[in-house]
């Protein structure tokens, strides 16, 4: 199980989007260009590039001749149509994009630490979780850590955010791993029976991805 994070989105601009216009398959380029603002285009294009990099590392450079295609479940969770033995998950925040790839079902989320709003926390947390957050010396960090875990579980489920938001972690049979990267938390949810160890790599220079 591999996680690849690009942690320096602000270094990317028009040149990166132009390179994506050349590299991406037509359907993904169309998706990318639907975003009105450059940041959304960069996040969309970068997520696909990182996915291709992970597949190349696992399956070899022939992936570049058979770029991944997506299919979707009824809730919009994407799957790899032409690499059905692999599962993946994508997440992004303002400054980073994260992609995870595994032979097991998974979900990933990355979020930046933001100013704590107890009203928001109370809406998405159960009483036990809310007490832990408010008792913490840094409730902003405690809340974002918990939120990434919930988002990762929702992505693992493939249902999107549902009414079960307060108790989703307790009601799903999966394992959750959480790491901190600078001012961000990253959470990964995967099957409890999954024996794969995860390896996380951080990239800050797009030129380290040689095929682009």
- Sequential DSSP letters for 54-112: HHHHHH-GGGGGS---EEE-TT--EEESS-TT-EEEEEE-SS-EEEEEESS-EEEEEEE
β-bridge pairing 184-191 and 174-181: antiparallel
Surface-to-core class of residue 26, CB atoms within 10 Å of its CB (0-12 exposed, 13-18 middle, 19+ buried):
exposed
- The gap between the terminal CA atoms of the chain, to the nearest Å, is 23
Q: What is the pLDDT of residue 13?
A: 94
d(C-alpha 196, C-alpha 179), whole Å:
17
pTM: 0.95
Say how many CA atoms lie within 13 Å of 199 toward its Cβ. 6
How many beta carbons lie within 10 A of that of residue 162, not counting itself? 10
Surface-to-core class of residue 177, CB atoms within 10 Å of its CB (0-12 exposed, 13-18 middle, 19+ buried):
middle
Nearest to 41 by CA among 53, 49, 30, 33: 33
Q: Is the dihedral of CA 114, 31, 91, 163 positive or negative?
A: positive
d(C-alpha 88, C-alpha 99), whole Å:
7
Nearest to 93 by CA among 76, 123, 114: 114
For helices 127-135 and 139-157, what crossing angle results, to 10°? 150
Q: What is the pLDDT of residue 150?
A: 96
> What does the CA dihedral 134, 140, 145, 147 come to, rounded to 10 degrees?
80
* Integer-rounded Cα radius of gyration of the chain: 17
DSSP bridge pairs for 181: 184
d(C-alpha 123, C-alpha 139), whole Å:
15
Q: Tens of pLDDT along the chain (212 residues)?
A: 999 999 989 999 999 999 999 999 999 999 999 999 999 999 999 999 999 999 999 999 999 999 999 999 988 899 999 999 999 999 999 999 999 999 999 999 999 999 999 999 999 999 999 999 999 999 999 999 999 999 999 999 988 777 789 999 988 889 999 999 999 999 999 998 888 888 999 999 999 999 98
């Amino acid at each position: 199980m591999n996680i690849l994070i690009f942690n320096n989105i602000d270094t990317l601009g028009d040149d990166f989007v132009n390179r994506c216009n050349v590299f991406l398959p037509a359907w993904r380029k169309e998706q990318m260009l639907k975003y009105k603002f450059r940041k959304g285009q960069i996040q969309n294009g970068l997520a696909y590039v990182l996915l291709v990099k992970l597949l190349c590392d696992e399956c070899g450079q022939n992936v570049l001749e058979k770029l991944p295609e997506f299919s979707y479940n009824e809730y919009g969770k994407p799957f790899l149509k032409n690499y059905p033995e692999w599962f993946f998950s994508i997440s992004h925040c303002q400054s980073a994009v994260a992609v995870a790839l595994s032979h097991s079902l998974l979900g990933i989320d990355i979020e930046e630490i933001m100013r704590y709003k107890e009203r928001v926390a109370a809406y998405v947390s159960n009483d036990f979780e809310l007490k832990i957050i408010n008792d913490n010396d840094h409730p902003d960090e405690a809340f974002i850590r918990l939120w990434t875990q919930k988002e990762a579980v929702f992505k693992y489920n493939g249902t999107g955010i549902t009414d079960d938001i307060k108790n989703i972690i307790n009601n799903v049979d999966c394992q959750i791993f959480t790491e901190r990267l600078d001012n961000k938390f990253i959470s990964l949810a995967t099957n409890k029976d999954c024996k794969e160890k995860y390896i996380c790599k951080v990239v800050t220079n797009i030129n380290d991805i040689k095929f682009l």
